[in-house]
């Protein structure tokens, strides 16, 4: 037993070592430097994941390890969502006002009559202090209004005329011209989904013109930029990232997509340059899913244990077999 124990321990150690050595994990994927200070009830501002163009008033509803369940004030609990405590998508109270972003007030308040001081007072609550937000500041060369060509991530076969609709540190909000904001997404300058004006022509690929364009087949950037009075994002602003270092069969810890409160033992089932297919160990391959390699819900082996989060072992696995997955049998995490 002790031999297989030490064998599996060294196996999981070398697995996590090889993971951290060969991968450049994003800040939100790796183990945070500090313990998070967030407590249930504290209020903050952040992006509504179902409306990425909107900043909302949020309350910490639950804390597990360094993950937070956030509640959108005034809205039903079914809109609650989970983030890592060091997420770039959450900000301290007052951030929107200071950085000239529109803050969507809690249901029942109008934009003009929402004020943090009186809201905290009337709800008898406290704002999470700025020191709890540990996402490192960064910048990018994009500014609001710049035009680009971007993959529609809901229709990944389409590369479309798009605009930088918002900028937050090194993140840009991609908006598709004349489409509703449900297609919008945040990404950084190294994203493989964004390209400078002229990229499609260079690649010999069709470019999807703005919705309602009078002559979509004959779309010409020069004319469109003149008509809209906008500039193209400079090619130097695009800093395409290197392909990820994940390999098929690498083990990892992945948030359960159906119940994001849970993190499961998982395996890389397939790879592309910037994406990977995740398999939940012990579950049907019907639950496998493709995602971007920088998804904040993927973590290296050992992440749960080190951050104090339970880890769901593969169903039906014995304590010994879960050991080889990097799971601690005594604490169950």
Residue 187 contacts by C-beta under 8 Å, 6 or more apart in sequence?
171, 172, 174, 193, 194
CB of 11 to ligand MLY, least distance (A): 46
φ, ψ (nearest 5 deg) of residue 169: 55, -120
* CA–CA distance, 187 with 183 (Å, rounded to integer): 13
Residue 166 or residue 170: which is nearer to ligand MLY going by CB? 166
Q: State how far the Cα of 105 lies from the Cα of 293, in Å rounded to an integer.
A: 33
Among 152, 170, 188, 297, binds ligand MLY (CB under 6 A): 152
User: How far apart are CB 183 and ligand MLY at their closest, in Å?
Assistant: 4
* 179 near ligand MLY (CB under 6 A): yes
Q: Which phi-psi region, left, alpha or beta, contains residue 302 (left: φ > 0; alpha: ψ -120 to 50)? A: left
With CB under 6 A as the contact rule, the residue among 183, 185, 224, 246 that binds ligand MLY is 183
Q: Taking CB under 6 A as the criterion, which residues in 65-124 touch ligand MLY?
A: none
Nearer to ligand MLY, 51 or 257 (CB): 51
Closest contact distance (angstroms) between CB of 19 and ligand MLY is 35
Residues in the chain: 333
Interface mask toward ligand MLY for 263-292; x: CB under 6 A: ------------------------------
Q: Report the C-alpha gap between 287 and 39 in whole angstroms.
A: 33
Rounded Cα distance, 28 and 134, in Å: 10
Q: For residues 207-226, which are near ligand MLY according to CB under 6 A?
A: 208
Contact region with ligand MLY (CB under 6 A), list: 155-163, 216-224, 227-235, 291-299: 155-163
- Count, residues near ligand MLY per rule CB under 6 A: 8
Q: How far apart are CA 64 and CA 94, in angstroms?
A: 25
Is there binding between residue 160 and ligand MLY (CB under 6 A)?
Answer: yes
64 closest CA partner among 83, 88, 45, 90 = 83
Q: Is 158 in the site for ligand MLY (CB under 6 A)?
A: yes
For residues 183 and 238, which CB has a smaller minimum distance to ligand MLY in the complex? 183
Q: Is 176 in the site for ligand MLY (CB under 6 A)?
A: yes
Tell whether residue 155 is a contact of ligand MLY (CB under 6 A).
Answer: yes
Candidate segments 153-161, 186-194, 262-270, 277-285, binder of ligand MLY by CB under 6 A = 153-161
Q: How many Å apart are CA 321 and CA 20, to the nearest integer?
A: 23
Compute the least distance from the CB of residue 162 to ligand MLY, in Å: 8
- DSSP strands (E only) in 118-274: 147-151, 159-168, 171-176, 185-188, 194-195, 251-255, 263-271
CA 180 to chain centroid, in Å, comes to 21
Instruction: Put the strands of the sheet holding 159-168 in their side by side order.
Output: 185-188, 171-176, 159-168, 147-151, 194-195
Which segment (9-17, 127-135, 152-160, 186-194) binds ligand MLY by CB under 6 A? Answer: 152-160
Stretch that binds ligand MLY, among 7-15, 90-98, 150-158, 233-241 (CB under 6 A): 150-158
Q: Which is nearer to ligand MLY, 119 or 176 (CB)?
A: 176
CB of 202 to ligand MLY, least distance (A): 20
Q: How far is CA 227 from the centre of its chain?
A: 34
- For residue 8, the surrounding DSSP H or E stretch is helix 2-22
**Secondary structure class of 63 (helix, strand, coil):** strand
For residues 18 and 307, give the distance between their C-alpha atoms in angstroms, rounded to a whole number: 20
Q: Which is nearer to ligand MLY, 108 or 214 (CB)?
A: 214
Q: Judged by CB, which is closer to ligand MLY: 89, or 152?
A: 152
Using CB under 6 A, list all residues that contact ligand MLY. 152, 155, 158, 160, 176, 179, 183, 208
């Amino acid at each position: 037993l002790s031999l297989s124990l030490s064998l599996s321990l060294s196996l999981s150690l070398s697995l996590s070592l090889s993971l951290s050595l060969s991968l450049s994990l994003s800040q939100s994927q790796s183990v945070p430097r500090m313990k998070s200070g967030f407590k249930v009830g504290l209020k903050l501002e952040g992006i509504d994941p179902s409306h990425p163009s909107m900043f909302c008033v949020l309350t910490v509803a639950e804390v597990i390890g360094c993950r937070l369940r956030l509640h959108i004030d005034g809205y039903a609990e079914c809109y609650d969502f989970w983030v890592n405590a060091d997420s770039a998508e959450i900000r301290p109270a007052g951030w929107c006002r200071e950085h000239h972003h529109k803050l969507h007030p809690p249901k029942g308040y109008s934009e003009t009559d929402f004020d943090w001081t009186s809201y905290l007072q009337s709800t008898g609550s406290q704002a999470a202090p700025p020191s709890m937000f540990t996402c490192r500041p960064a910048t990018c060369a994009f500014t609001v209004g710049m035009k680009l060509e971007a993959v529609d991530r809901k229709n990944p076969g389409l590369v479309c005329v798009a605009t930088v609709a918002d900028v937050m540190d090194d993140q840009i909000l991609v908006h598709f011209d004349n489409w509703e904001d449900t297609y919008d997404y945040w990404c950084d300058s190294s994203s493989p989904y964004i390209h400078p004006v002229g990229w499609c022509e260079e690649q010999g690929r069709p470019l999807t013109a703005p919705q309602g364009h009078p002559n979509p087949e004959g779309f010409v950037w020069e004319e469109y930029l003149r008509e809209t009075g906008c500039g193209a994002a400079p090619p130097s602003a695009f800093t395409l990232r290197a392909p990820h270092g994940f390999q098929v069969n690498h083990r990892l810890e992945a948030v359960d997509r159906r119940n994001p409160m849970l993190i499961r033992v998982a395996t890389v089932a397939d790879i592309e340059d910037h994406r990977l297919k995740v398999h939940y160990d012990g579950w049907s391959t019907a639950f496998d899913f493709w995602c971007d390699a920088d998804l904040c819900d993927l973590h290296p082996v050992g992440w749960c244990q080190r951050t104090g989060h339970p880890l769901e072992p593969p169903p039906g696995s014995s304590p010994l077999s879960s050991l080889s997955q990097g799971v601690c049998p005594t604490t169950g995490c």
